[in-house]
Amino acid sequence: MAKVYNYTVLIEQDKDGIYVAKVPDIPGCYTQGKTVEQVMERIKEAIEVCL
């Protein structure tokens, strides 16, 4: 059975309208996307890579 971890994800929109997501508990874990849905998909992938 796989372990499930919960991380806080902070999402901000920059001045150009791009969404930036980062995980404060994982140094260097961040990504960006054009929509909230896209950035959420990408941050899940980023978390897997960072761990």
**Per-residue pLDDT in tens (0 to 9) along the chain, 51 residues:** 888 899 999 999 999 999 999 999 999 999 999 999 999 999 999 999 999
**9 contact partners, CB below 8 Å, separation of at least 6:** 21, 22, 23, 40, 43
Instruction: Specify the number of domains making up the chain.
Output: 1
pLDDT of residue 4: 87
Neighbours of 23 (CB within 10 A): 19
DSSP conformation class of 13: E
Quick one: pLDDT at residue 3? 86
Q: Is residue 15 part of a domain?
A: yes
- Tell if the pTM clears 0.85, that is, is over it: yes
Q: Does 1 fall in a domain?
A: no
Instruction: Please report whether residue 38 resides in a domain.
Output: yes
Q: Is residue 39 part of a domain?
A: yes
Spacing of C-alpha 22 from chain mean position = 5
Q: Provide the pLDDT for residue 9.
A: 98
| Domain-embedded: residue 3 | no
CA pair distance 31, 29, nearest whole angstrom = 7
Domain of 19, in residue numbers: 10-50
Residue 25: the pLDDT is 97
